[in-house]
Structure 1
């Protein structure tokens, strides 16, 4: 952590300049009761929750209270917070947000293989239900993001994760999904892939990489987060993703959860509005039973929300 003798303005772990979190409008259609946004992040306040490693992007100011305001605006009674890379394995900000959530927020933490059993049990008591693993290289360096942990660590932690009933959440390229799913499956770990598995929409729905994802999804071997903004080449309507989204829903809607990715780091002016993202989802998925499954029932099961 940072040396306390250094000033806040000189310390890259306590950024003095931040990007305000983009707040949403209310969706056109109300969400079903206990709807869940299954992928967001909290950042700051930095005088309390400094980064573990300097951020590779302009950091947003998105503390827990602002996050809860976002959920309230869109009408989501539940949410899942995911540990962002600049906090590394220091889950303090995440845990504080979970504890302030009154049981309606679950967490996806990051740890290394040397984490103690007591630390894992403490995370579980706070509302953590998964660990995040990153196999997506930084677009700037081609190397792993600073503060991220790879799938090899998941294998080292597999037995202890299973004891807690946790799953692995993975950010990876679409082409790598089958091999990662195979490795984690052999270790007995359920796996949820972020950002629709990060396929390239210009390759089309028939491309083998996306076809492999659909096959794994049909067999129930993976779950997938329906987050549009990291994949599409056509914001803000994301029409290039509609065929892929439709096929994911058709393949196995019971293994899908909806996610915003708020507060949209590294997106700048291209950051979407969460209310608009929900409008798109509810336009594309106009069946109330499918909406109920993806927004409510699936996240309740996967993240073990209590009624």
Structure 2
């Protein structure tokens, strides 16, 4: 089937630079996606956008180029609950990828077990209204209870202004919870703002809550401006991500978010994104935890 990419959205960077920052051995890109290819894995009829194709082969080539050892592939909203592209990527990763799926209440126990065998270790609940239609919370809570038996976790994607109304639901989930991109804080506000402080309180009060400190290109207002002579620092995002990394060093993850869907203003160079890491995790100890120890503990616990 032919698919036409949503107008105005950028393609991923075809020739990323080589990062200056040397990743620690065993580093894991803990948030990335595969899109299609649409001719092989159809995009969902209910999708809010149509991306450019971004295959497993291109993802794993990027992994080698940047210096990562493994990937965590997250189901893309454009594929809905059809996880075939994700599962295909995991099964063809030589054990170097684990996944986060999207499932519906109708999923069978046998299907969940097959996903587990392929490398899925979590499910994603998306609350960003411009990307997905609302799923009833009772259905999501039922799914969370079922996947908890497999030792999976729940990844939640929401925007910071919506945390107060989602708080009670999130705290009722019976699993580890991983928040995408710090809950998308408004970095035009102070890092000491009540809005961001509420997110930090959420993590302080609930030790089962982890956070990805990724996607500065989505959060930044200033864009990829240099910081102290360094390239691509996304300086306005640094204080937020660094606060989370330093306060919760054992509960943070980082990922490229390749192939960066839904971007219109600029498409990040993935090599430059890697050079953002030492600004938010300035010591080798913090880098080791964020890039190796934490994702291994969550996605490959049998090897820890």
Please give the TM-score of this superposition, normalised by the length of structure 1: 0.87
2:229 corresponds to: none
Q: Take 1:93 and 1:296, find their aligned partners in 2: how far apart are those partners? A: 25
**Pick aligned residue for 1:251 from 247, 250, 269:** 247
Q: Deviations over 1:73-106 (max 9, x none)?
A: 1111111111111111100000000000111111
**Pick aligned residue for 1:303 from 281, 299, 302:** 299
Q: Deviations over 1:109-161 (max 9, x none)?
A: 001111110111111111100101111111xxxxx525x75654330112211
Q: Take 1:79 and 1:193, find their aligned partners in 2: how far apart are those partners? A: 17
Contact in 2 for aligned 1:130/1:168 (Cα 8 Å): yes
Could you say what secondary structure the match of 2:142 adopts?
A: helix
Please give the TM-score of this superposition, normalised by the length of structure 2: 0.88
Q: CA RMSD in A?
A: 2.2
2:171 corresponds to: 185
**Cα distance 1:178–1:293, how it changes in 2: closer, same or farther (>3 A)?**
farther
**Pick aligned residue for 2:48 from 50, 56, 60:** 56
Could you say what secondary structure the match of 2:271 adopts?
A: helix
1:66 corresponds to: 58
2:153 corresponds to: 167
- Judge which range, 79-88 or 15-24, deviates more: 15-24
Question: What is the Cα deviation at residue 229 of structure 1?
Answer: 1.8
2:289 corresponds to: 293
Residue 249 of structure 2 corresponds to residue 263 of structure 1: no
Q: How does 1:106-185 map to 2 (within 5 A)?
A: 106-138=98-130, 145=132, 149=135, 151-177=137-163, 180=166, 182-185=168-171
**Pick aligned residue for 1:41 from 33, 55, 62:** 33
Q: Take 2:258 and 2:49, find their aligned partners in 1: how far apart are those partners? A: 15
Greater relative contact order, per chain length (Cα 8 Å cut-off, separation 6+) = 2
Contact in 1 for aligned 2:175/2:208 (Cα 8 Å): no
Q: Take 1:130 and 1:90, find their aligned partners in 2: how far apart are those partners? A: 15
Could you say what secondary structure the match of 1:169 adopts?
A: strand
Contact in 2 for aligned 1:169/1:192 (Cα 8 Å): yes
Contact in 2 for aligned 1:133/1:151 (Cα 8 Å): no
Residue 86 of structure 2 corresponds to residue 94 of structure 1: yes
- Judge which range, 265-274 or 149-158, deviates more: 149-158
Contact in 2 for aligned 1:217/1:255 (Cα 8 Å): no
Q: Deviations over 1:6-33 (max 9, x none)?
A: xx34xxxx44899653242221122111
Residue 12 of structure 2 corresponds to residue 21 of structure 1: yes
Could you say what secondary structure the match of 2:123 adopts?
A: strand
Residue 217 of structure 2 corresponds to residue 207 of structure 1: no
**Cα distance 1:16–1:286, how it changes in 2: closer, same or farther (>3 A)?**
closer
Q: Which runs of 5+ in 1 are unaligned?
A: 1-7, 139-143
